[in-house]
Amino acid sequence: MHDGQLTVSLNAVRELVDAQFPEWRSLPLRRVASQGTVNAIFRIGERFTARFPLQPREVDAAQGWLEREAEAARELMGRTRFPTPEPVAIGEPGAGYPLPWSVQTWVPGVVATDKDPGDSVAFAHDLAEFVSGVRAIDTRGRPFTGQGRGGELPAHDGWMETCFGHSETLLDVPLLRRIWEVMRELPRGEAPDRMNHGDLIPGNVLVSDGRLAGVLDVGGLGAADPALDLVSAWHLLEREPRQAFRQQLGCDDLEWERGKAWAFQQAMGVVWYYHQTNPAMSRMGRRTLARIIADPPSA
């Protein structure tokens, strides 16, 4: 999926776990089938998950990211009634794998990619409750970092131009350009940054019996545009549940439209980038764009 992507074998994971965490030597290991794009994931027994970054980077940078991810996971723990991964340990490079890696608790449930909750109003209410709980976390004066989604929409013009260029044979680019020209002008307004999960896509959301069972990949927790986590309305929900989600959160028109714009920005990237290497992610992007196109702008 990525240039220079790292490979992680089950044998290497066994060697790393046994050498660095001998208390887990007797626990079985198995690879977790995943449509994720950031980590290779392995179960350690029934309680733990080992996560190995797939993209090459400097060791110190990777260590810093894993430490920040663990800090974010600790900050989110217990702030909602929905389970999230708890940090357990950070492993060291070895056995042919060049980067540090992490161990978290395993959160049971089926990812929404495999068990679509999009028609469930009850799930929409759960999702809104989770977003509200995250928003209630104190930013402690931390501003948006300026990286990725969550700041100012026009800052993404260059990336969107790249996406439009790569999508000519995949999507109705003239239509999508017109949509972005409107979206990028949406004002931020006076709303201060609030805490967001930052990546509420189907692969990071767990479902059980049509309800929200847990949320994964919490390392992006941080202060940003309060509309950022509204991307989940278009990534995960059909029209009626989407409106229930909005009503519970009490979104005004401007916030709602900015959330739609962040979902649009994310979807445009995944359609072409993962078209060949991760078809499920690419399909998610297409479905999100279809929902946005079919949803008229708020007054």
Q: Are residue 64 and residue 91 in the same domain, yes or no?
A: yes
* CA separation for the pair 164, 202 (Å, rounded): 23
Domain boundary among 91, 106, 121: 106
The pLDDT-based confidence of 299 (bands split at 50, 70, 90) is low
* CA separation for the pair 162, 176 (Å, rounded): 13
- Whether 88 is covered by a domain: the verdict is yes
Domain boundary among 53, 85, 106: 106
With residue 52 as reference, give the H or E element that holds it. strand 48-53
- Whether 2 is covered by a domain: the verdict is no
Q: For residue 4, what pLDDT is reported? A: 81
Q: Are residue 54 and residue 144 in the same domain, yes or no?
A: no
Structure tokens of 11?
């044998």
Q: Are residue 135 and residue 234 in the same domain, yes or no?
A: yes
Q: What is the mean predicted confidence (pLDDT) over 25-46?
A: 90
- In this structure, of 37-41, 237-241, 285-289, the range with the lowest mean pLDDT score is 37-41
User: Domain residues for 51?
Assistant: 10-106
- Whether 3 is covered by a domain: the verdict is no
Residue 86: Cβ within 10 Å count: 18
Residue with token string 């395993």: 106
* CA separation for the pair 124, 244 (Å, rounded): 7
Q: What is the mean predicted confidence (pLDDT) over 122-135?
A: 98
Q: Are residue 202 and residue 170 in the same domain, yes or no?
A: yes
246 has pLDDT over 80:
yes
Give residue-wise pLDDT tens across range 152-202.
999 999 999 999 999 999 999 999 999 999 999 999 888 899 999 999 999
Q: Are residue 239 and residue 210 in the same domain, yes or no?
A: yes
Residue type, 266: Q
- Whether 1 is covered by a domain: the verdict is no
The pLDDT-based confidence of 2 (bands split at 50, 70, 90) is low
Q: Domain holding 143: CATH number?
A: 3.90.1200.10
Q: Identify which of 93, 118, 130 has the alpha carbon closest to the alpha carbon of residue 218.
A: 130
Q: For residues 173 and 268, is the Cβ–Cβ distance under 8 A?
A: no
Q: Are residue 164 and residue 188 in the same domain, yes or no?
A: yes
Q: Are residue 127 and residue 75 in the same domain, yes or no?
A: no
Q: Are residue 126 and residue 253 in the same domain, yes or no?
A: yes
| Percent of the chain scoring above 70 in pLDDT | 98
The string of DSSP letters for 63-112 reads HHHHHHHHHHHHHHTTSSSS----EEEEEPPBTTB-S-EEEEE---SEET
* CA separation for the pair 190, 30 (Å, rounded): 49
3-state secondary structure of 165: helix
| Percent of the chain scoring above 90 in pLDDT | 91
Q: Domain holding 37: CATH number?
A: 3.30.200.20
36 has pLDDT over 70:
no
Alpha helices in 77-227 (DSSP H): 121-135, 157-166, 173-183
Average pLDDT taken over every residue of the chain: 95
Handedness of CA 191, 136, 200, 55 (dihedral sign): positive
Burial 212-222 (b: 16+ CB within 10 A, else e): bbbbbbbbbbb
* CA separation for the pair 19, 145 (Å, rounded): 37
Q: Are residue 85 and residue 216 in the same domain, yes or no?
A: no
Domain boundary among 75, 106, 137: 106
Q: Identify which of 283, 296, 282, 264 has the alpha carbon closest to the alpha carbon of residue 177.
A: 264
1 has pLDDT over 60:
no
Q: Are residue 174 and residue 150 in the same domain, yes or no?
A: yes
Which neighbouring-strand residues pair with 39? 53
Q: How many domains does the chain divide into?
A: 2
